[in-house]
Amino acid sequence: MHQRETGQLHLPPEHLRKKSRSIYTIFQHFKPKKQPRKTRPTMAHASEEFRLVCPGIDHDGRLPRKYTDEGQGAKKNLSPPLEWYNLPAGTKTLALVVEDIDAPDPSGPIVPWTCWVVANIPVTLKGLPEGFSGKEEEVGGEYGGIKEGNNDMKVPGWRGPKLPTPGHRLEFRLYALDDELHLGRKVTKERLLEAIEGHVLGVAVLMAKV
């Protein structure tokens, strides 16, 4: 004869319940901890290098003719606009040298042709506007103390290349310096490079085609 079910909960013996609790405690102790999610570096971290850009360069990396000695319509020999970012710590002043690194020398070899030399650029500036060359005093303010040196035409200021053939490369080099420069009245590339020796905190380089 079968015994009727009463609907009561039948618990396991006490020693089995204790064993079950012990196993659960051990499992919790050795359960791996949740690891924090790794995040990808942000663009801010990736772009903290000292860099120089020219908004006037086209999408092919070419400097428009209005910035060259050839000219474009009524515009000719305008100094190109420049912007810089992330100056090295301790920078006191900036200096700029622009060269046509594919210019042929009359005697044959390829030698850099100096297009622009600029000294004593204040670190408070974030760039130079288009057509700035030759207008330091006219623009005034923070731009007033900037000193332009002689290009290889032996005159101060920007002189864009006059090219018999296209395809030359212009190299813009912006120097971050740890001290002010005292170059006297006549500034040349050679005098500038000699004066900044031992004072360069960083160099930002920009290449453009003409």
- Mean pLDDT along residues 3-24: 51
Pick the CATH number of 54-209 from 3.90.470.10, 3.40.50.720, 3.90.280.10, 2.40.110.10: 3.90.280.10
Give the model's pLDDT for residue 15.
52
- Write the CB contacts of 117 (distance below 8 Å, at least 6 apart in sequence): 96, 97, 98, 148, 149, 150, 151, 187, 188, 189, 192
- Give the three-state DSSP class for 86: coil
On the question of pLDDT at 33 being above 70, the answer is no
Q: Could you report the per-residue pLDDT of 144-182, keeping only the tens digit for each?
A: 889 999 999 999 999 988 766 677 899 999 999 999 999
Give the model's pLDDT for residue 95.
98
Distances in Å between the Cα of 88 and the Cα atoms of 55, 106, 173, 177 are 22, 39, 15, 9
State what percent of residues in the chain have pLDDT above 70. Answer: 72
Task: Locate 49 and state its tokens.
Answer: 């290098």
Q: Cα–Cα distance between 149 and 158 in angstroms, integer?
A: 9
User: Among 47-56, 67-76, 116-125, 176-185, whose mean pLDDT is lowest?
Assistant: 67-76
Through-space distance between the first and last CA atoms of the chain, rounded to whole angstroms: 108
Q: CA 81, 200, 202: angle at the middle one, nearest 5?
A: 60
Domain extents in the chain: 54-209
Give the model's pLDDT for residue 115.
95
Q: Could you report the per-residue pLDDT of 119-148, keeping only the tens digit for each?
A: 999 999 999 999 999 987 777 788 888 999
Between 103 and 55, where is the model more confident? Answer: 55
- Mean pLDDT along residues 45-63: 83
pTM passes above 0.85: no
